[in-house]
Chain A
Amino acid sequence: MSAVLLPILPPLIAALAVLILRRGSAALALAGATLSLAGGVRLLAGALDGQAETLLLPGLPDMPLRLVSGPMTALLSVAVATVGTFVLVYAIGYMKRESGQARFYAVMSLFLAAMQALVLAGDWVLLLAAWELIGLCSYLLIGFWFQRPEAANAASRAFLYTRSADLGLYVAIFILIGSSGTSEIAASLEVGGSASTAAGLLLLLAAMGKSAQVPLQDWLMRAMAGPTPVSALLHSATLVAAGAILLIRSATLLSPEALFAIGLVGGITTVAAGVIALAERDLKRLLAASTASQYGLMLIAVGAGVPTAALLHLLAHAAIKSTLFLAAGDFQHAREGTAFDQLKGVGRARPWAFAGFALAALALAGIPPLSGFFSKDAVIAAALSGQGAAWLGPLALAGTLLTGAYMGRALRVLWQGSGDSRPVEGTGWMRAGIWGLAIPAAGLGLAFGPLETILDLPAPETAGTVAIVLGLVAALVGLALGWLVPVQRLLGPAHQWAESGLEVAGGLTAWIGRPAMAVARGCDRLEDHLYAAALAIGHTALSIARGGERLEQRLYLAVLGVGRANLAVGRWVRSGDERGIDGLIFALVAGVRDLGARARTLQSGLIHHSLAISAVATAVLLAILFSASLSV
């Protein structure tokens, strides 16, 4: 058996075993994930020695399915398996009280297997299958509590949003296979010209759906209705990451026009989603908006032509965001919810979880020597040095500033307040999961140097002093703002006199806080409008369909009208002849009319009319073909 299958098969087998045995499901799923991690590490070790493995499986004619292990795919496979393993460890504690364990662990394992297949896929058909599978699994996982209407709703919404964008992937793959003649990803990326631009833009569309980029970000916030381990897995290394991974892997395909569009989408998203995150009043929704914002930063790096920076940030973000979510789940159990009003001061009650959260929050903001500092510097350096630096640079810096601000705000809410808590079951497992991911979130940055050398992509520019200083300043200012602004909001107008003593901070609220809130509200409204527009399009399609049905009814009525007119003519003729014609004929006419009436009750449907349409269609076909053949 080829080593490439090692990361995929164990979770797949685990999913089947859970479904069949229906007991010990947590242990089975965890074993599957751990073996998958071991397989990933083995692939990575092989890749470091320069062995690129390829496995061909029988596929469509002339298009074998292939799995490829290179430095990048092996690295992503390890990241997916690491996050998956620790999230499962955590889930043992988190899901203790829930029913439907077998369903949960089976789908989680299947999800993991599908994501590994997506990461390691070497051809478009397999990638497409894996892409659809993770979409389906995410639908099942977000809707895990399907008895709750908001969860069922969120699952359908996530599925529909990402599905509609997936159409882009289908068409892009058609274009790529059609113009290159092969389904192998690496080879098909060689096509140049207009095909590459079209395919690049369509891939961007698919990535926008999965990675929740503006204007398709809405589903991500609502997907918070699912269990927290699901959010942690979805947001870090799997579902949402699939979009960015797709763009990073097809970086060599992208033409300047496509790069411009990617940078633009990423830049707008990182700022807009950052502002939304700042305005959120719920911890999980804040983290979700932050995910969209961070993927915006990765798209900026891809758009600047430095996919390696995007990959590094993706890895750092995977560890950081999963830590944040897992800690949030811990707080959720302690206070029965994640709204800020419920969470005040919970950090004092749950110090271990809070320490992990704080570490990851500082890492995400980009404080040295944590991992986010290095990856964010790489992104900012890419934005400042690549093409379009004039506008990508400021957008990346604004994104960094906002990251600091919303993380500062979250930390403050969690720390200030009274520290009481309900007893939480399964704390040990949850703590192990959180810290298993917090450690890479903190220390991963040290591994970036060696990683850059083994990736077969163009290395990013070494971050210059300018980039480092700008990034650090933005992060620190953001953190300070985030910590300070809510204080002013809490004091409110009653404490205005106290504000006058703090002119500078008050000014900051007026100048930054309020406009930011207004923009955030505007974004929220825009989102509602977009949703309404999407609904309106759906209604239009429905009304066109209904219109077709009405047209059919009208035609039928018209046909009936002709029939009635004939009857009227008949009656008129009869009244003229009544005196001259004898009783025999009269009886015959009456008999025929009686028969007709019986036939009419039998055929209440449209048979005359439908036969007439079929006859007209036949005549049209004949006319078209005759005229075509005569004109030849």
Chain B
Amino acid sequence: MGRDLALIIPEIAVLLTAVGALIAEMLRQPRISLIIAVIGLVVGTGLTLRLLGTDTTVFGGSFRIDTLSIWAKLILLPATVLSMLLARVDVRGSAREGTVYSLLIFSTLGALVLAGAGDSMFLVLGTLLTGLATFALVAYPDTDPATEAAMKFFVFASVTTAIMIFGLSYWFGASGSTLIADLPAMDTMPLAVILGFVTVVVGLGYKASLVPFHFWAPDAYEGAPLSIAAYLSVVPKIGALFALTQVVRHLPPETGWAAVMAGLAVLSMTYGYLAALVQDNVIRLLAYSSIAQSGYFLLGILAVGSSELALPSIILFAVAYAAMNLGAFAVAAIAGRTLNDFSGLGRSRPLIAIAMVVFLLSLVGIPPLAGFVGKFLLFAAAIDVQFTWLAVVAIINSALSLAVYLRIVVPMYRGGDSASVELDAWLGFVVFATVAATFIIGLGAQFMIVRDIV
């Protein structure tokens, strides 16, 4: 028991931070709440570093301390800090400022539980924990669009989670165990395995906004405060995708799950970019783009268990994705929500505009930026397991994505009038941190792979 607790110290630190932030809010001290939150998450990240290289389970195999769950902490905790700095601009001075910080941390805890899930009940727990916190966050501004978006989000989440719980009951019934590692014991009952797997895809697919479970995402991103949209597109999504990885590594290959992943990948990438092509609202455009990027993750996930490259590719792309997507949302927070707001940004705020170009080129996957390394490894992983056609589809989609992102870049440098834009120092910091990460990951990925860190 002592050993188990020692291994989940980062999670405990995150939980205590959330509670601490809530207490500070109760005492009407939102600034202290923010300080506690930032310090707690940074400490949590630091506590995780010493676990690097560990590969074990705690509490009877129900929670895993492995590469995926450790990297989930290293990615999601800093991402949450950056999201909180973004959120600060939206909620500063409002009545429930500290509540937002606290809810963000609770939701992140849910994503961490998902990423380390070794037991199907942890999948449910993580989904509910992130879900409940994020419904409230989306509804936070108390405007009609926000309430409507939160309502849709809630209905959608309730139905899909119910379906997942229903399917998981078959797994439990067939194997007599809720441990994911016990799945191979059910190979005499392939239909039960398949039913459970499809419902897990539904339950986690909604959270990762995979087509066709994505419908809530554009509305929720548009209705929610911008910082919450940025958070939703990164933290719960990566948690769900890592959880999916934890599940599929125990599925017997003859169920054909890899083909399902490939199909969903094609749907998500293509539909996401095609839909993004006709958006005039930058937030909706980024929402559809993040749907498409989820599809790229699946290239790595379907190679899990058969290719050495699968885990490094998923993790590296997750790091890259978190940096460039948060950065793009931060720039949108500075410039505005419509494409018109971006016109002339290249002149009024040249550095911010260059940062945006970096994020967008990285999202396309152009060397030497982070997105390129991530995508390159994902393609290599897919080719490694004989899914060359899928890699080709993904490359063609990358070409399509250039058209999507150029729709933001072109007005920045061509637009007529350039109203000067206010720049909050914290937003500037977030942009700077994410640009730096985009470059460092792009250039340092080789180092991380060679040293076997990921």
Contact = CB atoms under 8 A, between A and B. Distances in A.
Interface of A: 58-61, 125, 128-129, 132, 136, 143, 146, 149, 152, 156, 163-164, 167, 170-171, 174, 178, 538, 541-542, 544-546, 548-549, 602-607, 610-611, 613-614, 617-618, 621-622, 624-626, 628-629, 632
Which secondary structure dominates chain A's binding surface? helix
Which secondary structure dominates chain B's binding surface? helix
Contact of A618 (B148, B191, B202, B413): B202
A542 B277 contact: yes
Contact of B277 (A149, A545, A618, A625): A545
Given A60-B376, A614-B202, A625-B257, 13 more contacts: A58-B446, A58-B450, A60-B446, A152-B413, A156-B406, A545-B278, A546-B278, A602-B147, A602-B151, A610-B156, A610-B216, A618-B202, A629-B190
Contacts of B159: 611, 614
Contacts of A538: 403
Nearest to A128: B367
A203 to B, nearest CB: 16
B113 to A, nearest CB: 24
A609 to B, nearest CB: 8
B195 A622 contact: yes
A163 B156 contact: no
A621 B155 contact: no
Interface string B415-452: 00000000000000000000000000000001101100
Contact of B148 (A603, A614, A622): A603
A625 B216 contact: no
B260 A625 contact: yes
A375 B151 CA distance: 74
Given A129-B367, A629-B190, A610 B447 contact: no
Given A129-B367, A545-B278, A607 B410 contact: no
Contact of B367 (A132, A614, A618): A132
A129 B274 CA distance: 27
Contacts of B255: 625, 629
A176 to B, nearest CB: 13
A626 B198 CA distance: 11
Contacts of B201: 621
B198 A61 contact: no
A401 to B, nearest CB: 40
A170 to B, nearest CB: 6
A622 B198 contact: yes
B191 A626 contact: yes
9 contacts: A125-B367, A156-B410, A545-B275, A549-B278, A614-B156, A617-B212, A621-B260, A625-B255, A629-B256
Nearest to B149: A605
A78 B269 CA distance: 44
A178 B383 contact: yes
B254 interface: yes
Contact of A611 (B151, B155, B256, B392): B155
A610 B366 contact: no
Interface string B127-162: 000000000000000000001100110011001100
Nearest to A542: B277
A613 B156 CA distance: 12
B254 A548 contact: no
A546 B379 CA distance: 29
Contacts of B206: 614
Contacts of A174: 379, 391, 395
A511 to B, nearest CB: 47
A625 B152 contact: no
A611 B157 CA distance: 10
A614 B215 contact: yes
Nearest to B413: A146
